[in-house]
Amino acid sequence: MTDYQEMYLHLTREVEKALRILIEAQRECEEMYIREGGPPLRVLPPPEPPADD
């Protein structure tokens, strides 16, 4: 008989591993950006709300 609990636990563990890999990759890229300086950032003003007619 299929052990659905073991299937669920296996899937949960593998998803957790994938998330950890993605989070680590994001951190590494952020550190690369900070080290290299990157282009200057520009803050844009918020868009004007639409006019009520």
Listed by start position, the domains of the chain span: 8-36
Taking alpha carbons only, the member of 24, 22, 1, 4 closest to residue 12 is 4
Buried b (16+ CB within 10 A) or exposed e, 27-41: eeeeeeeeeeeeeee
Q: Does pTM top 0.75 for this prediction?
A: no
Tokens of 4: 């659905």
pLDDT band, very low/low/confident/very high, at 53 (cuts 50, 70, 90): low
Q: Is the dihedral of CA 26, 32, 34, 38 positive or negative?
A: negative
pLDDT, tens digit (0-9, with 9 covering 90-100), for 11-45? 999 999 999 999 999 999 999 988 998 788 899 99
